[in-house]
Structure 1
Amino acid sequence: MTVISSNTGIGDLTFATAIWPYADREQKKYFGVAAYLAVPTGSYNSQQAFNTGESRYRSDSQMGYQQPIIENLNRMIAVDTMWFGGNSQCAAACFSANNTSLNKKPLTTTQLGPLYKLNENYTFGASYFYVAGGATTIGNTYQNNVVNTQRFLLSALAYYHVGRISLQYGRDMEIKNSLIETRRLAVRFTTEF
């Protein structure tokens, strides 16, 4: 019988920023850029397989463009690339008795699809995602795990004075080397404080 140790503590601290270098409100055309940086501040123990922290830096840069097709129907495209720092203290999660190095190549996601704004409160969307990259090496051993995934996601967003509610449904369409997600259903509530 295998016992998985428990882990408590905070996760890695993430900093984020976004700007819109181009925003034409009259023509409803927008170009945005965002960046994220995750700092290894979370709880980490190399002898545990599961940790709240990753013991490595991660950064992500995104850019997206949106413009109308007709009246309330828009099209959008976004590209996102995540870079991973190395973890030189990987043991249990790397299936090693001693600390070894874990390295991961950049992972890029391309997303495109239509958005329909019914009114000021309700928006609907359909997105196609293509995800590629992210191969890892443990020590000097290549893991042959390049991600190559295609999936779709249907979304409904409701904006209220108390916050935003989102409902999403999707699934993987094609997997060449990754875990298979047969269904995804997500309900989220977001509010400002």
Structure 2
Amino acid sequence: MKNTGHLLFLLALSVLFRPALAIDLQPGDIVAPPPNVTVATLSYVNSQNNDLFQNGVNTGADPKLESNSVFLRLTHTYSIGSLPAVSFVQTGTGALSTDGSLSAFPGSKGMTDSSIVTAIWPYSNHATRTYLGLAAYLFLPTGEYSNAKAFNLGSNRYAQALQMGYQRPVTKNIDAAVAVDSTWFGANSACAAACLSNQNLQLTQKPLYTAQAGPIYKINQTYTVGATYVYVTGGETAWNGVERNNTLVTQRYFLSGVAHTRVGRFTVQYGNDITTMNGFMESNRFIVRYAKAF
């Protein structure tokens, strides 16, 4: 393996970036919900990464990193004054496995980081299918983490994000949805192996900015499909204040299919990266969700 230390550095930071890329909106997420509904959602997520890029150039390495996770989300809808609102708590468990040029590095198994989210709709009009929603995210460092390992399910730091989404009709059955978000990261003061050090360094990261947009097609009362383009930029990291010149610029897409049935809502999603500047290019992301209101 050429330049093993530098390769490990890039790979480790790719893992840290991934939790921040998870604020993907599904078809229907921007639609204001009715109040006093509780929903349990179970999700399975598989992600595969097989290429490594540095400053927009494929390094030619053969890293293989795959994650399999299961998440449980509990959601409750309510009203704040006359405005629709929703809050949820999510946590999960998973496994991160390494192979190829990463086979010498141990993977990670255990809990993932958790999140608490609250959203409110300053404007919602079901008659015109027009919605403007705002959401605040708090990410908690509950995931499995060891400073002696470069690859961890958890990030060992807090993070916060703000997101704004807007949706309106384009035709009788097609809506257009757009959203932007910003994520701010706390410091990880126990970064050793992932920071190529025998002792703990402080890992800090600049804000990460994301924009996503795409159409949502309601086929009928049961089936809905959607396509989303996502652009991500920012997120440069530093070790003990020394910047690493690893700004993330990634374009990706995902396709969604939703079925509303008498036993609950099923969602299937597939996507991958189109281009990336630094770190992994995700080759496959497959998600299955089941949500049940009660």
Tell me how far 1:45 sits from its aligned partner. 3.4
Equivalence map 1:1-193=2 (5 Å): 2=104, 4=106, 8=110, 10-192=111-293
Deviation of 1:66 after TM superposition, in Å, equals: 0.2
Query: Whose helix proportion is higher, 1 or 2?
Result: 2
Q: Distance in 2 between matches of 1:178 and 1:50?
A: 13
Counterpart-to-counterpart distance in 1, 2:280 and 2:108: 24
- Write out the 4+ residue segments of structure 1 that deviate beyond 6 Å after TM superposition: none
Give the drift of 1:150: 1.2
2-structure distance, mates of 1:72, 1:54: 41
For the 8 Å contact 2:204–2:241, the answer to whether it is kept is no
Q: Judging changes above 3 Å, is the alpha-carbon distance between structure 1 residues 185 and 55 closer, same or farther for their aligned structure 2 residues?
A: closer
- Is the contact made by 1:149 and 1:178 (CA closer than 8 Å) also made in structure 2? no
| Matched residue SS, 1:93 | helix
Q: Distance in 1 between matches of 2:230 and 2:167?
A: 16
Q: Is the 8 A contact 1:148 1:178 kept in 2?
A: no
- Whole-Å separation in 1 of the counterparts to 2:112 and 2:286: 24
Percent identity over the alignment is 46
Q: CA deviation at 1:6?
A: 5.9
User: How many pairs are equivalent?
Assistant: 192
Q: Give me the CA root mean square deviation.
A: 2.2
| Gap change, CA 1:57 and 1:172, over 3 Å in 2 | same
Give the CA deviation at 1:130. Answer: 0.6
Are residues 41 and 167 of structure 1, via their aligned partners in 2, closer, same or farther at CA, if it must alter by over 3 Å? closer
From the superposition, tell whether residues 122 and 12 of structure 1 become closer, same or farther in structure 2 (CA, over 3 Å): same
Residues 94-132 of structure 1 show CA distances to partners (whole Å, capped at 9, x for unaligned) of 221001010111111100111011122111111111111
Is the contact made by 2:120 and 2:135 (CA closer than 8 Å) also made in structure 1? yes
The whole-number CA distance in structure 2 between the counterparts of 1:51 and 1:131 is 22
Say if 2:107 and 2:152, in contact at 8 Å, map to a contact too.
no
Deviations 1:14-38 (A, max 9, x none): 2111111110111110011111112
Question: What TM-score, normalized to structure 1?
Answer: 0.88
Q: Can you give the 5+ residue segments of structure 2 that lack an aligned partner in the other structure?
A: 1-102
- CA distance in structure 2 between the aligned counterparts of 1:169 and 1:7, rounded to whole angstroms: 24
> What is the TM-score normalised by the length of structure 2?
0.60
Aligned-pair distance for 1:75? 0.4
Unaligned runs of 5+ in 1: none
* In 1: Cα distance, 2:163 partner to 2:288 partner: 23
